[in-house]
Structure 1
Amino acid sequence: MTEPGTTRSQVLLADRRRKLQMLAAQPDRVFELFVRSALQLTQSDVAAVSLVGEEWQWFKAGVGLEAVHIPLSLSFCAHGIETGTTFEVVDAAADVRFAQHPLVNRDAGLRSYAGHPIEFEGEQLGMLFVMSAQPRTLTPEQMRWLQDLAQGAADAAASHERIFKLQISQRRLLDFASASSDWLWETDSSHHYTWLSDRFEDLTGLTVQSQLGRNPPASPMRDGAGRVVEPLLGFLEVLDRQQSFARVVVLKPTPMGDRLISYSAIAKFGSDGMFRGYRGSAQDVTHRIGAERQEREVSDTLRLLAQHVPGVLYQRVSRPDGTGYCPYASESVRQLFEITPEKLALDCGPMFDRIHPEDRKSVEAQIRSAENSGQPWSQTFRVVLPEAGLRVLSGFASPRRMPDGNVLWHGFTTDVTESEKAAAEIARSGQQWELASQAAGIGIFELNLSTATITLDRNACQVHHLPAESPTAFVLAQWLDMLEPSARESAQAFISLAAVSGVIQREVLGVVTTSGEPRRIEFVARAQASRDRTRSRTPVLIGVCRDITEEYAIERLRQEMAETREANRSKSELLSRISHELRTPLNGILGFAQLLEGDRKEPLTSVQKQRVQTIRMSGTRLLSLVNDVLELSRIEQQMFSLQRESVSVNSVVNSGIALLQPLALERALQVEFIGAEHELHVKADRRAMDQVFTNLLSNAIKYNRAGGQATVIVEPLGTSKVQISIEDTGVGMSEAQVDQLFQPFNRVGAEKTQIEGTGLGLVIARELTQGMGGTIEVTSTPHTGSCFTIKLPLAKGSQTGRDSTDSMPAQTDWIEAAGGTALYIEDDPVNAMLMREVFGRLGNWKLLEAATGAEGLRLALAEQPHLLLTDMNLPDMSGLDIVKQIRQQPATRRMQVIAVTADALPQQQEMARQIGVDGYWTKPLDLALILKHLRGFFSANPDFPLSTK
């Protein structure tokens, strides 16, 4: 513990000594009142008034302290006097100044300190302080009380004339402390509020100032359930009695609603015997009364229900020492245990005394086990009743450990004696069961846990596929040898669990027949004792078994199919999201590229046109790749469809070479095209063929050596096929690498290089080629190069398919219409900017914009535009919801609505059409297609004549 500073305590003048002597001469009882008040009001363990001298500190008055004086080096108060104001230590054990103080680290174990200086004749000579065994901080109200009491102690020491007034103040504080609950109050003789504690505002929502000078509520008294007491007696009438009272409940209106308030107060009388008013406390009991009312209602309901339950419903509290009681037991306990609920509410021992001596240890052991594990308890046991004699009961209960260490049980016990009588009926049904079980392939087995022997009936032997001459009884180890090695541990666990739990257990085990065939057999069993409950019981497992090999295989297949469907669904959702995320930025890239190409006011130079065209072609190719990833997903889900038509091979090759020429130039590669004598056409999907060829040629360039060569050779293959070969002079591949080439995400070693790739391109290329009725073949020589060969069916005739520019947006011819209005709902600023540019080139066409669905609906209803364009994925609502609301409003029901979205899945398009969408535009937008749609819309609306611009 560190020494406090000595700037003031080091030199004590004679004047200070005189003042200390005067203060020490004051009667101890003066300070004791303040000490006890501080102890009560702050709810502390220790309170004292200390006087600080030059070397010692002594205690003028104190509660909870044995010491009379201590050295100054051990003084909390010396530190407090040095601060000159209220001094608080939240946790002395964590404070380096006080961690070694004997009151902190020894038996006293005090942790927190709070004190305020006592000033006498202008000098601080001591402290009024409190200490607690717990780390804490005083509340503001407690701190104010401590400060007031310290000031009161100082005033008492300064003048005997003020002692009387201070005693009154002290009594007031003590009265407040004795009556306080939630907030404190004081009235005059006319019942007007003269003082309210700070908590009043927090708990009622009313300001203290608004209530001073006013009366408490005059509403009638209510009982503990919140009901008005008869005969009616108002609260002011209670106050008129000029008598102390407690827990008078009345209804008080507040800004937080009507509240039930419980008032308690002490009547004040002057020295002349005249009534001066009340000092008291008030507590909001609204929630408590409501909870008690609800508890009574639940209790009444439970009591009514329990009357119709064939057994006893109960709550039981079990203490750590083994004793307990039942807070609740239904009336049926009188018949089931021949004990009254009132007796069990005091002690549940008599209930356990009714248990049969042979069963009691088992019942108590299983209850203790359930308490320790937290698992439900379930058991059948016998009781011996004074009147009814021997009965058999079945009990079930669930434990819950309470914070105080007790265990609260909720349980149900019923009489099952009559079920024993049903055993004879069950025996008579044995023959019928034998016939039914044989027809269903169900066998019965019995395992004697004492002798570890298992007995199989005839059907059970057939289930195990045992020979007809095989014995029906086996030592348990012999039966375990019939099982698959991996199933033996599960079988032993199954037997153990069934033996101790007392409930039905189920297990499927692998059995190896005598012919070596593996079979799956289902076992269902539970523990059972001797049927004669009055004799010593032998524990056995009784169960059934059946061969479920075929069922098991079918179920496994069903699960695998379900898992496969779920995996495909998840993958489709992922691909849809990837497509959406890629299409959104592509919309800006391709859209503004088209705007630049079609800008006639500020036309591009030839070089700029070529660059913009390269941007547009690359963006279009990326869009094609995004679409093809979705197509590959459809292939795997058998939802893939290719548009097979006559496609010019030269067109595909020339387009691919042009697209990849910048990459070839970057690597100083030469790309050579050796075409056929005559132009050839294949029967293929143009977009798929573009992707396949571009992927293979891209690989020939990327994996080539610098300054190498890539050669494309097109030639007919017989009379029915066309062969396209892509040769390179790269590093080549080994046979092992070629074998792994078409595995997803396997880059056969290229992942160790700086060449970009995902390992999916060749997989997609092969799937697309096979989908077009073709094949891809690979030959490769390490350090020499590779050759990929595409073989596709030759198309009949010379019809040319879509050329490479078909997949790119065409240059646009702008139109203008007079006075039309469109509304575009889009949260992406780039997409909104693009649409704004498009409509900005349509002459007088006016475009309204909204970034949220709610704003868009408001504009649609207010402006009633001729055309509504909306994104399908808005931050606050779906575009489908917007369309539904538009179609429900008479004013907008016939409005033309077009969905503008990055979601290209067919099912989404179909859903949009079903709710009334007139058009479905997929991002990235083809501006030529937009103008085509707008022309169609304008031509169908003669009010908007068209003109080409």
Structure 2
Amino acid sequence: MDLEARKLMSEALVGAGTSVWAWDLADDALTGMDGSVALLGYQPGDLPATQQAWDSVIHPEDLAANDAAYQAHAAGKTSAYESEYRARAKDGSWRWLAERGRIVEWSPDGAPRRMVGTLTDVTLRKQAELEAAERDERLRQITRHVPGLLYQFRLPRDGRGVFPYVSERCRDVLGLDPQELMHNASLLFGRIDPADRQRTNRMLEDWTHTQTARRIEFRYLHPNGHQRWMLGVSSPRAEADGTVVWHGYLEDITEYRELERARELAAAAEAANRAKTEFLSRMSHELRTPLNAVLGFTQLLELDQTDPLSPGQRHRLGLVRESGEHLLRMISDLLDHSRIEAGQLSIDLVDVPLPELLRECVDMLHPAAQAADVRLHWGHLDDPLRVRADPTRLRQVVINLLSNAIKYNRRGGEVRLEARHEEGRMVALRVIDTGVGIAPAHLPSLFEPFNRLGQRRSGIEGTGIGLAITRGLVTLMHGRIDVNSVLDKGSTFSVLLPDASPPRTQDVNLPM
């Protein structure tokens, strides 16, 4: 082949992105260098025709791997030298080159003497590979962070379905290895609850015929032993050979279903609570009217001087009146408790002078204390003392606590009332008694409604909801109630309410 033909062939190869070279290792002389440099935009003569000069344009990070590929071939470990590396073009950019060669001549001492090969510009291919790798990585990141798993499911005509693709979230959602599931689809289908399996299979058949996007929910036995609810959303597509391919999404919706169930139960409970409150409210009014009439007539009979009652009649009539008053109190307590539970009890918070309110409560309960042979007296009382509360409801709280302290006391016992400032801008009101106390086992149930803690047979009247109402009222006034009790020694009930007092001056003890 003459020089002109070789030049024409070289130009044609360079135009196709390839050059042919030969390397004389003894003299470090490269033949075909003009074609090689042309791939990088250089002109003939811009680079010396040596391997050392060519190494100067190879990216520093790729030099070691390139030399290792040559050494492996020179040592006979590979049949050819193959290397891909970056080389700096004349415009300063980096081009990807694929080089392939073979040693074709050896020196008598066994050293390589002559090598030939090709050099190809593969920048476009490399860029396409890098872009594909970036897309794959973006897809991996997306599938790794979505709540469920993405999948492709193929169902050939023979009915043996396979998962060609399952995202990494398979481990988190199904507890299965993605590679194992792609190898054996029954790992998933075999764990569907038998009660849902037939329905799931029927829907798969329906999807196969209609080829419309569908969603299905089914129970799944997780490898950890727990039953989980799964939601599958999938779109089928038929291929020419009759295979149906689904692309879909599978998510664990157990928490969603439990939340929805809880919402349904809460809505039902709220509706039942409203109905109960409305019923009790109506019934209380219906019962109060005739009951007030009964109490009114008993009082008239007791006060009638024109036709006085005999002692026996007066005693029996007193029992009727006391029972009616007790029933009226029960109705009022029941209504209060229902309103508190339903959140329908209105509270009007104002600054309340505490000593005056406590004095009223003590005066009101003195007759009951005297009748029970219980001494009711003051303990420590800070001054000035004001709390942020509803005066009517606070009075109800104090009366409930004092009444219980008297009722469950012993003859000759005592009830002490204290009130003082506490840290954190709170006021502590304490009712301390020397009564029967409360067993430790009963303390957790103390504020449960209708629980009299074994006092039903004690002969002491009560509805079992007084303390439940008391705690509800205290909570509505942004306070809390605590109890400390020792069986057969007595109890201390502490009510803490927001402090509304001006700056303190001095502490005082009020005589009874």
TM-score by length of 1: 0.29
Of structures 1 and 2, the one scoring higher in RCO (CA 8 A, sep 6+) is: 2
TM-score by length of 2: 0.49
